[in-house]
């Protein structure tokens, strides 16, 4: 209700200002109607501009411009920079494990998901089920997006580490900690 009062007040002020400028009464009415509409549109525009300024572009977020395979390669390069052995599995028949990191018996199975929406439980299920098939004892899912609440609960239940877009800059240290 208070918002409506502000819009009515804004319309009245705009109409009176137009009248004081010597405009025709019809133009004063038009100014009174247009002022609240412009105010609402400007607020939405500013809010969107601020949100857009905070969204990383392809040059700021390397994962945004990659394909799924390129994202796997990117994660593997980061793992290699940790000084541990890295095995990239075959594209098919990998049991849900894209990258194997570390030495036996503490190998880490990583499932990479480059998606435009939050990653669900299927990725966690795949890597948790595939890890023993690849002789791995730890699991991790890495994505350029985020995870659904159900995926977070399932990962917590199975001890699977989730690395979303907010943690990607720290992936190197997360892999070091997981393989030490």
**28-86 pLDDT, tens per residue?**
788 888 878 888 888 878 887 777 666 555 555 566 678 888 899 999 999 999 889 99
Question: Between these two residues, 61 and 17, which has the higher pLDDT value?
Answer: 17
Assign domain 62-179 one CATH number from 3.50.30.40, 3.40.630.30, 1.10.3980.10, 3.40.1350.10.
3.40.1350.10
**Measured between alpha carbons, how far is 40 from 38 in angstroms, rounded to an integer?**
6
pTM of the model: 0.65
What per-residue confidence (pLDDT) applies to 38? Answer: 84
pLDDT, position 146: 94
Angle of the 171-179 helix axis to the 68-80 helix axis, nearest 10:
60
Question: Rounded CA gap, 138 and 125, in Å?
Answer: 13
Number of helical H runs and strand E runs in the chain: 6, 5
In sequence order, which residues have a C-beta less than 8 Å from that of residue 75 and are 6 or more positions away? 98, 99, 110, 112, 142, 171
Cβ atoms of residues 122 and 147 within 8 Å: no
| 109-168 tens-digit pLDDT | 999 999 889 999 999 999 999 999 988 999 999 999 999 999 999 999 999 999 998 888
Q: Given a cut of 80, is residue 91 above it in pLDDT?
A: no
Domains of the chain, residue spans: 2-54, 62-179
């Amino acid at each position: 209700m208070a918002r409506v009062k502000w819009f009515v007040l804004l319309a009245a002020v705009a109409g009176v200002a137009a009248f004081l400028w010597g405009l025709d009464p019809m133009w004063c009415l038009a100014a009174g109607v247009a002022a609240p509409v412009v105010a609402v549109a400007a607020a939405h525009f500013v809010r969107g501009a601020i949100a857009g300024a905070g969204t990383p572009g392809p040059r700021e977020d390397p994962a945004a411009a990659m394909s799924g395979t390129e994202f796997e390669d990117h994660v593997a390069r980061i793992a290699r920079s940790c000084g541990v052995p890295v095995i990239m599995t075959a594209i098919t028949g990998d049991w849900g494990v894209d990258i194997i990191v570390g030495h036996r018996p503490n190998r880490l199975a990583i499932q990479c998901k480059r998606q435009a929406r939050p990653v669900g439980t299927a990725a966690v299920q795949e890597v948790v089920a595939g890890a023993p098939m690849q002789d791995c004892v730890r699991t991790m899912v890495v994505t350029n997006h985020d995870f659904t609440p159900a995926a977070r609960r399932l990962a917590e239940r199975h001890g699977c580490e989730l690395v979303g877009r907010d943690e990607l800059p720290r992936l190197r240290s997360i892999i070091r900690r997981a393989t030490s």
